[in-house]
Amino acid sequence: MGDSCSSTWRCVMLISVCSILFSASDGVSQRDEKTMEAVRRDLQGYRWNTSGSDFCEWYGVICNSNKSVERLELSRLGLSGNISVLIALQDLKWLDLSLNDFSGQIPSVLGRMQSLEFLDLSANRFSGRIPSEIGNTKNLLCLNLSSNLLSEGIPPELSLIKGLKRLNLNMNGLSGGIPEELRGLHALEELQLSGNHIVGSIPLWIGNFTNLQIFTAYENKLIGPIPQNLGSNSNLVLLNLHSNKLVGNIPESIFASGQLQILVLTMNSLDGGLPASVGKCRGLSNIRIGSNKLTESIPPEIGNISSLTYFEANENSISGTLVPDFARCTNLTLLNLASNGLTGSIPSEFGALLSLQELIVSGNSLSGDIPSTLSKCKNLSKLDLSGNRFNGSIPEVLCDIPHLQYLLLKENSLRGGIPVDIGNCKRLLELQLGSNYLTGKIPSEIGGMSALQIALNLSFNQLQGSIPPALGKLDKLVCLDVSDNRLSGSIPSDLKGMVSLIEVDFSNNLLSGIVPTFRPFQNSPSSCFKGNKDLCGEPLKTCGNSSLAGHPIKHKSFGKVLAVVLGSGLMVFLTVTIVVVLYVIKEKQQFPDTLDPPPSIVTGSVFEESLKQAINFETAVDATLKESNKLSSGTFSTVYKAVMPSGLVLDARKLKSIDRTVNLHQNKMIRELEKLTKLDHDNVMKPVGFVIYDDAVLVLHYHLPNGTLAQLLHKEGDASEFEPDWPRRLSIVLGVAEGLAYLHNCHAPLIHLDIASVNIFLDANFNAIIGEVEVSKLLDPSKGTASITAVAGSFGYIPPEYAYTMQVTAAGNVYSFGVILLEILTNRYPVDEAFGEGIDLVKWVHNASSRKETPEQILDARLSTVSFAWRQQMLAVLKIALLCTDNTPAKRPKMKRVVEMLQEVNQGA
């Protein structure tokens, strides 16, 4: 009986406890459900997957066993709005809102989220100060606020987060020094402060952090020495302090643990040398110490680092010799010791560097022979020995290097002839042999170097004989310089085959005859031909030393001369008369008489209240009647510049092929335009108003002063005006990708009808803005965008499947974007006769391997040759472009994935 009562009592207690627990769990669930409904309402820009009633099933929402939200992983969703609503999630431990569109100040109420352990707000547009209240999140382990617009100083209150392991404040506008209070963050494993305006010195106490593995503070205004104890108490893995004003020695302490993997100290004022203790770090892959004031020689212990991949120590005053111990670094890809004080010769042991891609030792005092063992470096693509004292001959075996693209040997004391075998350098893009003591003839075999593109420089040597006509086969060559030699004979007319030629120099030789009529020759200054006694013709004004103008005119020729003069005068008169008549006719067409009725405006609207007084519809319409206002023309529209009486400058986009559909579907068109005003992305153009007149539609936008991407890439002008702007181009295509991803994933997804470089507009800061978005809705409002009755897109950008499916798709947009990537990588038009019949840019690139061309050979050499880092980024983007332009739509990545891949390339700089 007693046992029965006891058992019954235990059951009652258990039921009571369970009821309390379930009741508490239900309360938490209901509380978080209301909060998540508010989150869905307040955070805009993403179409929440809320098909189920359980908020724990929503994308990026992870709940614990009590149905309480524990993690929010909402990165890369285009979100914006007020994040303060999240503070009601009391059990939230993980909050990732990175790579979204949040702006304004970071709410100080986030400091109330006591359960928070991980907070990532990186890559948004948060501005203002970092709220000191974040110091109240005592359980925080990781804080990432990088890549925002934050300013003012680092709040010392962050020191209250005693357990903080990772602090990343990179790429903001933070100022002031590193707060002394942060010395209490003993748990720190990662401290990243790069890309700010931080001043002062690096505190000594950072060297006391026993857990520190990553410390970056590059691109700041730091002064003073690197702490001599940095790394001595921890397993330092990465140290990046480039682009500051640091002085003193490179401390031995950073190598003490032997764990260092990446060291970047470029662009400071460090002196001394690289400590021998660097040899302890067997896992060290990157050493970049260029652009300092280092003087001591490279220690032989460098050979102990078997994992070394990059070694850059250019632009210092490093003395001593090229230590042969580098040959033991079998994974070495780049060795750059340019512009130092090195002496001696290149060790023959360097032939063992089978992974070496670039050997750059220009601007030193190296001498002796160029070792033939370098031909064993089968992956070598760049050999730059220029500006030294090499005094042997050019080894014939250099062209046994299968991937050699840049052979730069100028400004040495090389002797002998140019080896005939140099014609075997089939992949060479640039050959620099100027300013040596080379003799003999120019080998005609050079004409077989079909890839030669950047320059052929043979100037300031002692070359004799004639210019080989075979050079005319170099149809990709941009610059030819054979000046200051002893070349004789005439300039061969075969050189007209050099159709890419921009810069030439034949001066100071023994050339004779007439300069062939060839635009690159006639467009060159006369100085490029002077110093040849018997050379005549344009652009020269003389033949030998006698002026043509100085010869007396014989009397018997006077009649002929007079006839020519009178005939020329009559011709000029007739020409001027015809031009004036044509001009009057054209002006008549553009500006009809007042008798002709002006265009009749049917309706119009301005969507932004602040602009209603500044926009005049008649002015916008009149702007389209004047050809001089035309800015660009695409498949579906033409853009005109319209200057309002108020001074406001707009772009007026006149849609093509509208016809009577304007009047038939006017109301629907207006509704669609109003919907487009709700587009909210920095890389997508949205209308500020519209005008409907007669049978035409004008859509009004803010003026974008830097034109289109097509105009940037293919602008006419002298090659000397070219700006090496790869970072800008990468930023532009990343913006285009983000804008397209937004269109594909916004609340009402939009498929663009014409992704092409002519429809990518550039604002004052060269940010990319996708234009012609409205044509996806307005081209024919009676139809949807899924079906097309004509070819959608610009020639060269159209996906192959559109020809038979007649369906525009997101995958088709990805293909067109891939063409844009190829366009910026190669600087070629999407369609070019040079590719051959039936071949466009995509096919030309995809077929490169069948032509036995390397990926490097199809890149724009004016960019890819600037730096190793640029070329690596371009090759990475090329891989993405090949994926995007796959012939099978299903194999192409989604635009969100393309954005991620491009961001990885950009962040890997």
For the annotated catalytic residues, the residue numbers are 754
Residue (of 335, 382, 336, 338) closest to 363 by Cα position: 338
Q: How many CB atoms lie within 10 A of CB 652?
A: 27
**CB 784, CB 754: distance < 8 Å:** no
Q: What is the DSSP letter of 135?
A: G
Q: Could you tell me how far CA 610 lies from the centroid of its own chain?
A: 36
Query: For residues 367 and 387, what is the distance between their CA atoms, to the nearest angstrom?
Result: 10
Paired tokens of 220: 């700041």
Strands (E), 87-130: 94-96, 103-105, 118-120, 125-128
CB atoms within 10 A of CB 419: 18
Other C-beta atoms closer than 10 Å to the C-beta of 304 total 18
Q: Which residue has the tokens 């007669």?
A: 694
Give every CB contact of residue 165 below 8 A, 6+ residues apart in sequence.
Answer: 141, 142, 187, 188, 189, 190, 211
Q: How far apart are CA 854 and CA 723, in angstroms?
A: 25
Residue with tokens 């030792």: 361
What separation, in Å, do the N-terminal and C-terminal C-alpha atoms of the chain show? 80
Q: Could you give the CA distance from residue 874 to residue 855 in angstroms, rounded to a whole number?
A: 10
Within 8 A by CB and 6+ apart from 264, the residues are 218, 239, 240, 241, 242, 286, 288
Question: How is residue 410 written in tokens?
Answer: 């100028």
Residues 6+ apart with CB under 8 A from 214: 189, 190, 191, 192, 237, 238
Q: How many CB atoms within 10 Å of residue 824?
A: 25
Q: Examine residue 539 and say whether the peptide bond preceding it is cis (omega within 30 degrees of 0).
A: yes
Residue 654, phi then psi, degrees to nearest 5? -95, 115
- CB distance 668 to 594 below 8 Å: no
- Please enumerate in sequence order all residues whose Cβ is within 8 A of that of 670, keeping only pairs 6 or more positions apart, or say none: 603, 605, 690
What's the CA gap between 206 and 888, in Å, rounded? 54
Which helix (DSSP H) or strand (DSSP E) does residue 360 occupy?
strand 358-360
